[in-house]
Amino acid sequence: MNHREDVRNIAIIAHVDHGKTTIVDSMLKITGEFNIKEDAAQDTVLDSNPLERERGITILAKCTSVPYKNHIINIVDTPGHADFGSEVERVLKMVDGAILMVDAVDGPMPQTRFVLRKALSLGIRPIVVINKMDRLNADPHRVVDDVFNLFIELGATDEQLDFPILYASGKEGWASENAAIRGTDITPLFESILKQVPPPIAHLDKPLQMQITMLDYSNFLGSIGTGRIYSGNISKGQTVILVKPNGETKNVKALKIERFLGLIRQEVQSAEAGDIVSIAGLEGVNVGDTVCQPEAPLPMPALSFDEPTISMEFFVNDSPFAGREGKFLTSRHIKARLEKEAHTNVGLIVEQMEGEGKFKVSGRGELHLTILIETMRREGFELAVSSPQVIYKEENGVVTEPFEYLILDIPSEFQGVVFEMLGTRGAKLENMVSEGENRLRLEYSVASRALLGFKNEFLTSTRGKGIMHHSFHGYYPKQNLSPLRRNGVFIAKEPGETTVYAIFALSDGGQFFVGPGEKVYAGMIVGQNSRENDLVVNPNKAKKLSNMRSKATDEAYTLSPKREFTLEQAIEYIAPDELVEITPVAIRMRKKILDFNERKRFEKTDTVEVEA
């Protein structure tokens, strides 16, 4: 076998917020690839997406490279959240090694298990980096033991169990082979990569084979495919063919070839086996396609991805406020946008439903779908979405549903209320560990649908002191769960503008989601009832003026602050007969059927069908 000794291809994998992107920044700085003050407007330069910067997480896998000692080290930064697992799976296929980042305080977390399982199954021997050594209460020796136990639990081979260990602080920009000695720079990590990561196998004398693992799009160049060249070479302007997993072929031309160099893509005239490059001009390309020479169509094995676990229905916004706040409103706009997303986001499945303007979108998790919705909202789309529904499977005659592995870090004073919350949601306690200083670490397996709306309730019950993480655990027999929302809602009776007088009069019966002076429409959800039933109310009612009453006395009313919802909270909150109306400037909740009389008729019909 031929090897490219001058190249190393690695991926950086870790749990959310364990420092993947920060350590890449340190590697870029020491090689002079960017100056943080001049080239980066944000703390982590690879988080180029506005949503990534706001949330502090990596959503899209990204490539970069750094030169070191006459070598080119291609680095791929991967998402840490399991909802973006399809990104991790694709990336690991085109690298020869991986750096597993683990927090020196938190240790292995749910997504650590997820990404490590993917790496070990591909035969990768990771370099373990215990990051955030600058944190107070860092306990690297305990974390190394936990990582070793995790390797054993996931079925690592003897060679994989003999993993190299480094201790680092991505924030301060140093790495060390000794936990007791603070390093001076990130050089030990580079040395470990050159020593431990095998050079890529590169069959330079064989016909071209390059598998596409990531997609992009340019208005000027069309579809852009990124992947690793496994054999042969490719030149700018060369005619090649795309070989689909089903055997279909398509002639295309490599209009432009780019290699990753630091923070930029550098155009090159040619590339050869072992390189990770982007090629423009591959019209009709999909993830998993193989780029070959016309005379030697040699497809590579198809890429496999985990199936979606949650689906939501997307509708054209038909509320009375439709068209007031967005630019893209029609079924045609929404369909085109969803199809474009499904082309590059392979973990997403879009299906056209019966009726105009109805689509079923399935993804790897709630975050996966809400990121798409938030992106569309910022682009100027108006739409309505239903509550998330888990995707059931039937295995050997048994209906199964997706489960999550949940880890909670809480002050021990809240253990009673947390036990009660999870008990009502059918969660099973797998492990409980005392973390010292009156803190507990609880590990549960719980149905995915039982976690809908749990985060907000959990943070409220622990007064913001609790920390939770969860990832997909597998499919298990379906559970019988009681409805998660125990309270009904206040539904606006008629369109108009809310008043202080009406909200004050109704506030004893529940909590409001709107304040005075806001426009509402009939069927819009304006608050939460303190009881289980839904209640139609009139928040627009004005106080009748007379000789004995004056408008000035409104100033005496004291209202409780309205409850505001983020997009995720609104989607988790709604019931199956409700929708979230999403526009570039507002998030509103509403009933699917706005008219009160139609809702009553529908409920009666539904009841009769159930009885029959």
Binding-site residues for GTP sit at 17-22
- Determine the residue type at 447: A
* Residue ranges of the binding site: 17-22
- Residue 470: count of CB within 10 angstroms of its CB: 24
In the sheet that holds 249-253, the strands lie side by side as 249-253, 239-243, 290-292, 209-218, 222-231, 276-280, 256-261, 264-268
- 210: β partners: 229, 291
Give the integer Cα–Cα distance in Å for 241 and 254.
10
Residues, the chain: 612
Beta strands in 23-173 (DSSP E): 62-68, 71-77, 97-103, 127-131, 165-169
Taking alpha carbons only, the member of 388, 390, 409, 412 closest to residue 399 is 390
Left, alpha or beta for 84 (phi > 0: left; psi -120 to 50: alpha)?
A: alpha
Residue 202, CA distances (Å) to 8, 233, 404 in order: 12, 10, 40
Q: Do residues 129 and 166 lie in contact, with contact meaning Cβ atoms separated by under 8 Å?
A: yes
Give residue 395's identity as a one-letter amino acid code.
E
At residue 52's C-alpha, the angle toward residues 49 and 54, to 5°, is 110
Encode 75-95: b = buried (16+ Cβ within 10 Å), e = exposed: bbbbbbbbbbbbbbbbbbbbb
- DSSP per-residue letters across 7-31: EEEEEEEESTTSSHHHHHHHHHHHT
Distance from C-alpha of 100 to C-alpha of 107, rounded to nearest angstrom: 12
Pairing mode, if any, of strands 290-292 and 209-218?
A: antiparallel
Give the Cα separation of 274 and 463 in Å (integer).
52
What is the H or E stretch that residue 218 is in? Answer: strand 209-218
Q: What are 66's two structure tokens?
A: 């750094």
